[in-house]
């Protein structure tokens, strides 16, 4: 009796008749092993991410040779992050095309093997690649790009949503104002950027209910003595400024709205420029531990300066800045105001990450893969920034005048040409040189103090909002502005 003749008890089929023959795994040709990775991205970024990072990694419990090696999986994952269509099926199709071109046989179109290979990528290796890219960009930047002899770093927080799964809800609960089964898990991301290069140096994430300053505590050890930290008013507190000063780091922030200003107190350094002492608060804030709060001094000497910001078409606006840079000669109030206004660049960096690279809505369905997906976005972002820095230094163009979107489009276009292969070393070098020239020759216009309101012009579709779980929701047909579909 054949296996197909058993109409019932399918679970006993393997027990009675033995296991079915496994499908033959595709054999990896030697030429494919020598190619090692997807050629289109490796040709562009191979020097920035050497293959040695993936050597010596364990194969797994079976020890068998896999098609999706860590190196191939990494480059496929990176292409998935950089492309407009970030589906796993699209990444597998790219691997299939590369596989056939390298002389391989038929390959399964199932995405299961690729997803399992992504889960096997060591998170520590991805973090090391991220740190290598960020550190390399900072080391290539000459000292004249620093601000008055200081390396300026900017910290900012944002939020990201993800698929509504039980694991994601447990690790990153949805906001408390949303009903159950009507919202999405959300995490809070705090990033430390370099003001000079725009590189994302370090990042940390956690539940959305955790305060930005509390997450930023995990990044304090990445600040070096002599650095200047620029942040918005949400980070301005006695505890943070005192902790930074203990580490030899100066801070520049906007005064928190809850703290009152008395210009008659303190030592006068100039017009609306005072040096005064802040007193340690009585209670320990939630953003500090008891040991950290006990180690803070009783008083902290800070400088408060009121500066005027003039935008074309608007009335002058006053800002009160707080800093530990006390010397009014070395650090005039006008220079502090100019430095603080550059803090807006970090908002644009997050816009590039969330809008252009689609970090706003993550796609992975488990917290473990969410962490790896974030790291891959950070690596892709820093790779684009590294190419921009290389073009700016080679062609003597201000890095702030180069377009991130233009660089990303140029990389995707040139990667498609390099993917065709058949190029000599000289031709490939000429393409890379032309790529840098095109990036540097298309600068954005200098638009200081440009008004960019956060408002949408395109109206959303006229659908009802989900106010109940989907299996309980019923479309309201009595309301004229909500019409049920005809299907």
pLDDT digits (tens, 9 = 90+) for 194-233: 999 999 999 999 999 999 999 999 999 999 999 999 999 9
pLDDT value for 427: 86
CA distance 155 to 150: 16
What are the domain boundaries of the chain?
Answer: 25-121, 240-329
Instruction: Outline where 299-424 has alpha helix (H).
Output: 333-341, 344-351, 367-395, 404-419
Instruction: Outline where 83-158 has alpha helix (H).
Output: 88-101, 112-120, 123-140
pLDDT value for 420: 60
**By the 8 A CB rule, do 213 and 251 touch?**
no
pLDDT value for 480: 54
pLDDT value for 3: 42
Instruction: Outline where 238-282 has alpha helix (H).
Output: 238-246
CA distance 337 to 253: 10
Of the candidates 73, 164, 85, which has an alpha carbon nearest to the alpha carbon of residue 119? 73
pLDDT value for 57: 63
Instruction: Outline where 178-230 has alpha helix (H).
Output: 212-216
pLDDT value for 10: 40
Residues in the chain, pLDDT under 70: 1-44, 46-47, 50-52, 54-65, 313-314, 419-422, 449, 451-452, 477-487
CA distance 388 to 443: 11
Distance of CA 314 to the CA centre of its chain: 33
For 69, 158, 404, 438, 447, the CA distances from 442, given in Å and listed in that order, are 38, 30, 11, 6, 15
pLDDT value for 20: 44
Can you give the C-alpha Rg of the chain in angstroms? 27
């Amino acid at each position: 009796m054949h296996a197909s003749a058993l109409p019932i008890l399918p679970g006993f089929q393997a027990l009675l008749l033995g296991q079915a023959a496994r499908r033959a795994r595709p054999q990896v040709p030697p030429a494919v092993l020598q190619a090692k990775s997807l050629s289109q991205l490796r040709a562009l970024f191979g020097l920035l991410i050497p293959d040695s990072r993936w050597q010596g990694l364990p194969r797994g419990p079976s020890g068998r040779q896999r098609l999706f090696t860590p190196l191939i999986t990494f480059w496929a994952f990176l292409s998935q992050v950089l492309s407009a269509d970030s589906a796993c099926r699209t990444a597998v199709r790219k691997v299939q095309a590369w596989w056939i071109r390298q002389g391989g046989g038929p390959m399964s179109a199932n995405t299961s093997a690729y997803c399992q290979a992504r889960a096997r990528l060591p998170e520590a290796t991805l973090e090391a690649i991220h740190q290598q890219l960020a550190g390399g960009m900072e080391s290539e930047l000459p000292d004249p790009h620093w601000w008055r002899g200081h390396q300026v770093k900017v910290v900012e927080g944002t939020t990201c949503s993800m698929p509504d799964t039980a694991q994601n809800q447990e690790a990153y609960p949805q906001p408390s104002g949303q009903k159950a089964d009507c919202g999405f898990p959300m995490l809070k991301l705090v990033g430390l950027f370099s003001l000079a290069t725009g590189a994302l140096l370090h990042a940390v994430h956690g539940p959305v209910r955790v305060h930005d300053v509390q997450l930023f505590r995990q990044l304090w050890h990445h600040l070096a003595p002599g650095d200047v930290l620029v942040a918005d008013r949400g980070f301005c507190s006695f505890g943070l400024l005192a902790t930074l000063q203990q580490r030899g780091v100066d801070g520049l922030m906007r005064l928190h709205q809850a703290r009152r200003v008395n210009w008659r107190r303190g030592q006068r350094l100039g017009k609306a420029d005072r040096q005064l002492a802040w007193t340690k608060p009585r209670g320990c804030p939630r953003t500090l531990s008891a040991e950290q709060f006990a180690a803070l001094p009783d008083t902290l000497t800070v400088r408060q300066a009121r500066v005027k910001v003039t935008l074309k078409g608007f009335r002058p606006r006053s800002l009160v800045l707080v800093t530990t840079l006390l010397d009014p000669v070395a650090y005039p109030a006008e220079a502090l105001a100019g430095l603080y206004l550059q803090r807006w660049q970090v908002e644009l960096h997050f816009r590039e990450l969330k809008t252009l690279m689609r970090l706003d809505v993550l796609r992975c369905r488990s917290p473990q893969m969410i962490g790896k997906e974030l790291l891959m976005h950070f690596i892709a972002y820093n790779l684009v920034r590294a190419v921009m820095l290389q073009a700016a230094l080679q062609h003597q163009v201000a890095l702030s005048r180069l377009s991130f979107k233009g660089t990303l489009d140029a990389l995707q276009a040139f990667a498609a040409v390099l993917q065709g292969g058949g190029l000599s070393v000289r031709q490939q070098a000429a393409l890379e040189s032309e790529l840098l020239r095109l990036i540097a020759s298309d600068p954005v216009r200098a638009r200081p103090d440009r008004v960019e309101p956060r408002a949408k012009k395109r109206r959303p579709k006229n659908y009802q909002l989900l106010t109940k779980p989907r299996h309980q929701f019923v479309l309201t047909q009595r309301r004229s502005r909500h019409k049920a579909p005809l299907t």
